[in-house]
Every structure is written in structure tokens, then in C-alpha cells.
Amino acid sequence: MTESRGLVLVVEDERHIAEVQRLYLVREGFGVHVEGDGAAGLAAARRMRPVAIVLDIGLPGLDGISFCRALRDADDWTPVLLVTARGEEADRILGLELGADDYLTKPFSPRELVARVKTVLRRAAGPPGERAGRHGRLTVDPAARTVHLDGEPVELTTTEFNLLTHLLKHGGQVLTREQLLAGVWGYPSYRDTRMVDVFVSQLRAKLGDACPIRTVRGVGYSAPGAGR
Ligand code: CA
């Protein structure tokens, strides 16, 4: 038996879709557990501690949005890849605001799913060996993946943390939304850039006026460079 890349929890009520997801993830070396309704999925997440969750929005029992909210309310920051159908854009944005890390729109190719799961996991692991740094009232430790505001810990999702550290790492530069999608989410080309705005809003809501991210009108976002 080869070593597993970790357990992925798939919460999906359409059995044929769940089965395709399971097959492709298993082929890539992941362990996979499937649940067909939201409440059972949430119980499995708590019991099994998966490395990532592939979460359908439209679920019987507890929908994906409520699932995400319950997970984050319990301080569970397991990366969540949201699966949405066309026409569920409002739900998708809400899901991202509630702490999902990325999304896929049905129909998607199984290869796209595998690539997205690997990307959220790579991002969750973070870049090794970087030292903690102070940014105004914030202390950001990339290795420990912690942020403190005036000495108090701030809970950030994987993606919020990655967006913040990516902008800080490129301090003094203005990054376009497309560059941020590529650098933080790993998208090779244009995608819905409003996702970037959603996550910047989340960071501002959590960090208040200590948030170092500035909007550069008509271009993108920036954080101050070192020593500023
Ligand atoms: Ca469904």
C-alpha cells in the first residue's frame, strides 16, 4: 500500500458525481470518504479530520452554505472547495465569505477537481522557512500561519491568510486581480476576479484599519513595502 496524501471528504448528494470525484481522487493517492447529505458530512468532518473537503452547495439536510458556516464557527479551518451549479452565483459568493477557499462550477472535469484540491492543499501548507514579520499593528508568521493584531490572535481562513501574505511579500508593488488569482489561487488565466474583492473585503472586516491592503483604483491592490 502506498502512502496516502491524506483523506478528502466529498459531500455530494448526486451519487454518480460523487463516484467520479472519488475515483479521480483515489487515483491521485488520496483517501476519500463520501457523504450524501450535509448533516452526515459535517459529522464526518468532525470525526475524520480530513485534509480537505469537497462540498456541494445544494445538499439535503444541511446545505453547503450552512455547512461552511458551522465548520468555521467551530474554528475548523480545513480547506473547503465549494462545488456550485450554474445560477448559484450568490450562494457561491456567500460561501466564500463564510470561509470556503475556492469553488468549481458544475459541470467540471475530474482533472480540474484534482488540480483544485492539490492547490488548496499546497496553499494550506504554505511556503516553508519564512520568518515572522511586523506590519504596523499586525504580526504575521508565515511558518506558523498565524496573524496577531495588537498581540491578539486573528482567525483567518487559509485563503485569507494566503492573500494577505502574498500581498505583503510583494509589498510596494501593485498587483492586479488577475495576478492575485494566479499567485494566490493558482489560476493560469482569467477567471471571475470578483473572488479577489470578496477576500479583500473579508480581510478588511477582520483586521479593520490595521489591514495593510490598499485599493489602487482601476489597477488592483497593494500592501506597503518593507520599512514603510
Ligand atoms: Ca446537489
pLDDT in tens, 147-187: 999 999 999 988 899 999 989 988 888 999 988 988 888 77
- For residue 152, how far is its CA from the centre of ligand 1 (angstroms)? 39
DSSP string, 30-84: -EEEEESSHHHHHHHHHHH--SEEEEESS-SSS-HHHHHHHHHHTT----EEEEE
**What pLDDT does residue 130 have?**
62
Strands 220-222, 174-176: pairing kind: antiparallel
Query: Separation of 26 CA from ligand 1 center, angstroms?
Result: 21
H/E segment holding residue 87: none
Instruction: Give the model's pLDDT for residue 1.
Output: 43
- pTM exceeds 0.85, yes or no: no
pLDDT tens for 185-213 read 877 656 678 889 999 999 999 999 999 99
- What is the per-residue pLDDT for 126? 59
> What's the confidence (pLDDT) of residue 64?
94
Backbone angles phi, psi at 139, to 5 degrees: -120, 120
pLDDT of residue 155: 92
Q: For residue 12, report the distance from its CA to the centre of ligand 1, in Å.
A: 6
Yes or no: domain 133-222 corresponds to CATH 1.10.10.10:
yes
- Find the 165 Cα to ligand 1 centroid distance in Å: 34
Give the pLDDT confidence score for residue 55 in this predicted structure.
97
Homologous superfamily (CATH) of 7-125 is Response regulator (3.40.50.2300)
Between the CA of 199 and the centroid of ligand 1 the distance, in Å, is: 25
Report DSSP state, residue 105.
E
Q: What does the pLDDT read at residue 228? A: 42
CA 59 / ligand 1 centre spacing (Å):
5
pLDDT along the chain (228 residues), means of 10: 77 96 94 96 93 94 93 87 86 85 89 90 65 85 89 91 90 89 77 87 95 93 74
- Looking at residue 27, its pLDDT comes to 94
Say if strands 174-176 and 146-149 run parallel, antiparallel, or are unpaired.
unpaired
- Residue 131 is predicted with a pLDDT of 67
Q: Give CATH 3.40.50.2300 domain extents, the chain.
A: 7-125
- Residues of the chain within CATH 1.10.10.10 domain(s) are 133-222
From CA 223, how far away is CA 228, in angstroms rounded? 10
pLDDT of residue 85: 85
